[in-house]
Amino acid sequence: AAPGGLASFHCSARRLRAARVAVVLSGCGVYDGTEVHEASAILVHLSRGGAEVQMYAPDVPQMHVVDHSKGQPAEAESRNVLVESARIARGKIASLAKLTTADHDAVIFPGGFGAAKNLSTFAVDGKDCKVNREVERVLKDFHKAGKPIGLCCISPVLAAKVLPGAEVTVGHEEEEGGKWPYAGTAGAIKELGGKHCVKEAVFSLTPSYEAHVDTKNKVVTTPAFMCETELHNIFDGIGAMVKNVLKLTGK
């Protein structure tokens, strides 16, 4: 055999086994789009897991634009979700309308208020929210195909709305002195028809401590920035979610 032939064979074999994962973004920036740290953590863990990644976002206007230095809406300014998401994707992104189950083994949704503002109307309408048509299609298609769905932070509300009875976590159900400032979301998940499971957002030797796996629906969730904790805990919790998603692909 030619020098390096065996190594090339093993590399090719790994590529054949690699899970193909779609990551759905909702803009760029925690207050009106994707939470950047969460997206980055997901991409790092997917890379470490050997996955092939393609990023997508809906080609729609943002609900509004927030000046992140002030935490206030920027009046008379508008941005496009796909265009803003391309900042995180380093330009390598496609319209969500092009995402199909045939091309991917799993799909993951980072959090950030964009999930509640641009992928759905949850931020405004709560339990009566509507989900973006393409987001709803993707969630239903992957669920029907028996392919895993990963979500973190606020994005589990999407699964709770679209997949009745799905088990998800957004962390704890009480604020606990400000440690879980968005704890009320757990109640909304129940009103949406989902089942909420309490989980932590700190490192544990048992990955299930940080992420919840709904084996029946193949939905994997983790609290991420729903908790006021150190960044490395967020990173590790997302890692537990990604690890379980990849495991469910069987690749």
Q: Taking the domains of the chain in order of start, what are their residue ranges?
A: 20-249
Provide the CATH number for the domain formed by 20-249 in this structure.
3.40.50.880
Q: Which whole number is the average pLDDT over 71-88? A: 96
Whole-angstrom distance, CA of residue 59 vs CA of residue 222: 27
Which residues belong to the active site? 153
Q: Report the phi/psi class of residue 159: left, alpha or beta, with left for phi > 0 and alpha for psi in -120 to 50.
A: alpha
Confidence of residue 201 (pLDDT cuts 50, 70, 90): confident
Whole-angstrom distance, CA of residue 186 vs CA of residue 226: 11
Whole-angstrom distance, CA of residue 133 vs CA of residue 117: 14
Q: Could you report the per-residue pLDDT of 125-165, keeping only the tens digit for each?
A: 999 999 999 999 999 999 999 999 999 999 999 999 999 99
> For position 4, what pLDDT does the model report?
56
Whole-angstrom distance, CA of residue 51 vs CA of residue 30: 25
Please name which of 50, 87, 239 lies closest in space to residue 150, comparing C-alpha atoms: 239
Tokens, residue 25: 């973004």
Q: Would the pLDDT of 206 be above 70?
A: no
> For position 1, what pLDDT does the model report?
45
